[in-house]
Amino acid sequence: MIHYQRLWWLVYLPASGEVAAKQAGGVVSVCDRQSSTPSRRAKPRRPPPQPGEETTKTPMPLLLVLLFTPRTAGLMLLTISTTHRPATDLGFLLHKHPDRFQSFDLSFGTAHAYYSEVGDERCTACLLIDVDAVGLVRGKNPDQDFLLAQYVNDRPYVASSFLSVAVAQVFGSALQGRCKDRPELVTSPLPLEARLDVLPVRGGESFLRAVFEPLGYQIEAIRHPLDEQFPEWGEGPYYSVTIRQTVTLSVLLNHLYVLIPVFDARKHYFVGEDEMEKLLAKGEGWLAQHPAKDEIARRYLGNRPSLYRMALSRLVQEEAPIDGEEEAQPKEKAEETLEKPINLNEQRYGTVLAAVRASGAKRVIDLGCGEGKLIRALLKDRQFEEIVGMDVSVRTLEVAARRLKLERLPDSQANRVRLIHGSLMYRDKRLEGFDAALVVEVVEHLDPPRLAAFERVLFECARPRTVVLTTPNREYNVVWESLPAGRFRHPDHRFEWNRQEFQDWASGIANRFGYSVRFLPVGPEHAEYGPPTQMGIFSRSGDRQE
Amino acid sequence: MTLSIPKLSLVVLVGPSGSGKSTFARTHFLLTEVLSSDACRGMVSDNPNDQAVTGDAFDVLHYVAAKRLALGRLTVIDATNVQPEARAPLIALARKYHCLPVAIVLDLPEKICQERNTNRADRSFGPHVIRNQRSQLRRSLKGLRKEGFRQVFILDSPEAVEAAVIERVPLWTDRSHEHGPFDIIGDVHGCATELEQLLERLGYGKIVLAGDEPGWSNVGYTHPEGRKAVFVGDLVDRGPRVLDTLSIARNMVKSGSALCVPGNHDVKLLKKLTGRDVQITHGLAESLAEIDALPAEVREPFIKALVGFLDSLVSHYVLDDGKLVVAHAGMKAEMQGRGSARVRDFALYGETTGETDEFGLPVRYNWAAEYRGTATVVYGHTPVPEPDWLNRTLNIDTGCVFGGKLTALRYPEREFVSVPAVKTYCEPVRPFLPETEQAPKLTAQQAHDDLLDADDVLGKRIVSTRLRGSVTIREAHATAALEVMSRFAADPRWLIYLPPTMSPTETSSEPGLLEHPAEAFTYYRTEGTPQVICEEKHMGSRAVVILCQDERAARERFGVTGGEIGIVTTRTGRRFFNDLALEAQFLDRVQRAITAADLWSALDTTWVCLDCELMPWSAKAQELLKTQYAAVGSAGRAALPRAVATLAAAGVRLRDDEKARLEQVAKGMMRREQSVQRFVDAYRHYCWPVNALTDLKLAPFHLLASEGRVHTDKTHVWHMDTLATICRAAPELLLATSYKVVDVTDPVSVAGGVEWWTSLTGQGGEGMVVKPLDFLLQGKRGLAQPAVKCRGREYLRIIYGPDYTADENLSRLRSRGLAHKRSLAVGEFALGVEGLERFVRREPLRRIHECVFSVLALESEPVDPRL
Listing DSSP states for B408-477 in one string gives EEEETTTEEEEEE-SS--S--SS--S-SS--SPPPPHHHHHTTSEEGGGTSS-EEEEETTTEEEEE-HHH
Task: Identify which of A79, A226, A426 has the shortest CB distance to residue B454.
Answer: A426
pLDDT digits (tens, 9 = 90+) for B453-475: 888 888 888 898 999 888 999 88
d(CA B490, CA A450): 8
Q: What is the dihedral of CA B554, B467, B844, B342, to 10 degrees?
A: 170
pLDDT at A39: 36
pLDDT at A74: 54
Asked if residue B611 is part of any domain, the answer here is no
Q: What values do phi and psi take at B50, rounded to 5? A: -75, 100
pLDDT at B268: 94
pLDDT digits (tens, 9 = 90+) for B550-565: 999 999 899 888 889 9
Task: Identify which of A117, A133, A138 has the shortest CB distance to residue B801.
Answer: A133
Task: Identify which of B629, B650, B799 has the shortest CB distance to residue A101.
Answer: B650
Asked if residue A331 is part of any domain, the answer here is no
pLDDT digits (tens, 9 = 90+) for B680-708: 988 888 898 888 888 999 999 999 999 99
> Domain end: B380, B406, B428, which one?
B428
* B contacts of A47 (beta carbons < 8 Å): 657
Provide the 3-class DSSP secondary structure of residue B545: strand
Residues in chain B: 867
Asked if residue A529 is part of any domain, the answer here is yes
Average pLDDT over residues B56-80: 95
B107 and B223 part of one domain? no
Q: Which of A67, A101, A226 to mutate to test the interface with B (most CBs of B within 10 A)?
A: A101
> Domain end: B375, B398, B428, which one?
B428
* B contacts of A152 (beta carbons < 8 Å): 628-629, 632, 798-801
d(CA B34, CA B11): 9
CB contact under 8 Å between A318 and B541, yes or no, is yes
Task: Identify which of B455, B476, B622 has the shortest CB distance to residue A3.
Answer: B476
Give me the CATH number covering residue B385. Answer: 3.60.21.10
Peptide linkage before A38 cis (omega within 30 of 0): no
Three-class SS of B258-327: EEECCCHHHHHHHHHHCCCCCCCCCCHHHHHHHHHCCCHHHHHHHHHHHHHHHHHCCCEEEEHHHCEEEE
* A contacts of B665 (beta carbons < 8 Å): 101, 103, 112, 128, 130
pLDDT greater than 50 at residue A317 = no
Other C-beta atoms lying within 10 Å of the C-beta of residue B295: 9
pLDDT digits (tens, 9 = 90+) for A460-508: 999 999 999 999 999 998 888 778 877 888 888 899 999 999 999 999 9
> Domain end: B110, B142, B169, which one?
B169
> Distance, in angstroms, between A288 CA and closest chain B CA?
32
* B contacts of A320 (beta carbons < 8 Å): 623
A269 and A371 part of one domain? no
Cα A24 off chain centre by: 22
Asked if residue B701 is part of any domain, the answer here is no
* A contacts of B866 (beta carbons < 8 Å): 149, 151
Give me the CATH number covering residue B138. Answer: 3.40.50.300
Total domains in the fold of chain B? 4
Q: In the beta sheet, which residues pair with residue A535?
A: A470, A520
A275 and A373 part of one domain? no
Cα B396 off chain centre by: 22
> Distance, in angstroms, between A517 CA and closest chain B CA?
24
More confident residue, A57 or B317: B317
B331 and B282 part of one domain? yes
For A11-25, B128-142, B404-418, B436-450, which range has the lowest pLDDT when averaged over its residues? A11-25
d(CA B713, CA A217): 72
> Distance, in angstroms, between A526 CA and closest chain B CA?
32
B121 and B221 part of one domain? no
Other C-beta atoms lying within 10 Å of the C-beta of residue B178: 16
Task: Tell me the residue range of the domain where A216 lies.
Answer: 3-305
Asked if residue A348 is part of any domain, the answer here is yes
Residue of A242, A37, A486 whose CA lies nearest to B642: A242
Residue of B110, B121, B127, B118 whose CA lies nearest to B15: B110
Three-class SS of A111-177: EEEEEEEECCCCEEEEEEEEECHHHHHCCCCHHHHHHHCCCCCCHHHCCCHHHHHHHHHHCHHHHHC
Asked if residue B690 is part of any domain, the answer here is no
CB contact under 8 Å between B632 and A154, yes or no, is yes
A260 and A355 part of one domain? no
Asked if residue B422 is part of any domain, the answer here is yes
Task: Identify which of B571, B657, B800 has the shortest CB distance to residue A72.
Answer: B800
> Distance, in angstroms, between B180 CA and closest chain A CA?
38
Mean pLDDT computed over every residue of chain A: 75
Residue of B497, B623, B479 whose CA lies nearest to B571: B497
pLDDT at B434: 57
B69 and B133 part of one domain? yes
CB contact under 8 Å between B632 and A152, yes or no, is yes
Note the helical H segments in A359-476: 373-379, 394-403, 411-414, 451-455
Total domains in the fold of chain A? 2
pLDDT greater than 90 at residue B121 = no
Q: Which of B473, B477, B486 to mutate to test the interface with A (most CBs of A within 10 A)?
A: B486
Amino acid, res. A288: A
Mean pLDDT computed over every residue of chain B: 90
B382 and B364 part of one domain? yes
pLDDT digits (tens, 9 = 90+) for A405-448: 888 888 888 889 999 999 999 999 999 999 999 999 999 999 88
Beta-strand relationship, B541-548 and B75-78:
unpaired
Task: Identify which of B452, B491, B860 has the shortest CB distance to residue A315.
Answer: B860
CB contact under 8 Å between B646 and A114, yes or no, is yes
pLDDT greater than 70 at residue A61 = no
Tell me the pLDDT band of A158, cut-offs 50, 70 and 90. low
CB contact under 8 Å between B635 and A453, yes or no, is no
Amino acid, res. A369: C
Give the pTM. Answer: 0.74
Task: Tell me the residue range of the domain where B648 lies.
Answer: 622-684
Task: Kindly state whether A452 is in contact with chain B, defined as any CB-CB distance less than 8 angstroms.
Answer: yes
A and B: number of Cβ contacts within 8 A: 270
Residue of B nearest to A197 (CA): B639
* A contacts of B817 (beta carbons < 8 Å): 142
* B contacts of A453 (beta carbons < 8 Å): 450-451
Cα B678 off chain centre by: 50
Give me the CATH number covering residue A532. Answer: 3.40.50.150
Residue of B nearest to A395 (CA): B480
Tell me the pLDDT band of A271, cut-offs 50, 70 and 90. very low
Tell me the pLDDT band of A183, cut-offs 50, 70 and 90. confident
Residue of A nearest to B810 (CA): A134
A 156-185 residues with CB below 8 A of B?
156-158
A287 and A345 part of one domain? no
Task: For residue B690, give the DSSP letter.
Answer: -
| Percent above pLDDT 70 for chain B | 98
B374 and B281 part of one domain? yes
More confident residue, A74 or B314: B314
pLDDT digits (tens, 9 = 90+) for B22-43: 999 999 999 999 999 999 999 9
CB contact under 8 Å between B572 and A100, yes or no, is no
* A contacts of B653 (beta carbons < 8 Å): 99, 115, 118
Average pLDDT over residues B375-381: 94
B749 and B762 part of one domain? yes
More confident residue, A274 or B535: B535
Asked if residue B136 is part of any domain, the answer here is yes
CB contact under 8 Å between A157 and B635, yes or no, is yes
pLDDT digits (tens, 9 = 90+) for B387-440: 888 889 999 999 999 989 999 999 999 999 999 999 989 888 777 665 444 445
Amino acid, res. B573: G
Average pLDDT over residues B701-716: 95
B163 and B245 part of one domain? no
pLDDT greater than 60 at residue A402 = yes
A504 and A458 part of one domain? yes
pLDDT at B1: 83
Task: Identify which of A157, A238, A450 has the shortest CB distance to residue B491.
Answer: A450
pLDDT at B120: 79
Summarize chain B as % helix, strand, coil (round to 5): 45, 20, 35
Residue of B nearest to A198 (CA): B639
Asked if residue B87 is part of any domain, the answer here is yes
pLDDT digits (tens, 9 = 90+) for B832-852: 999 999 999 888 898 999 999
* A contacts of B798 (beta carbons < 8 Å): 152
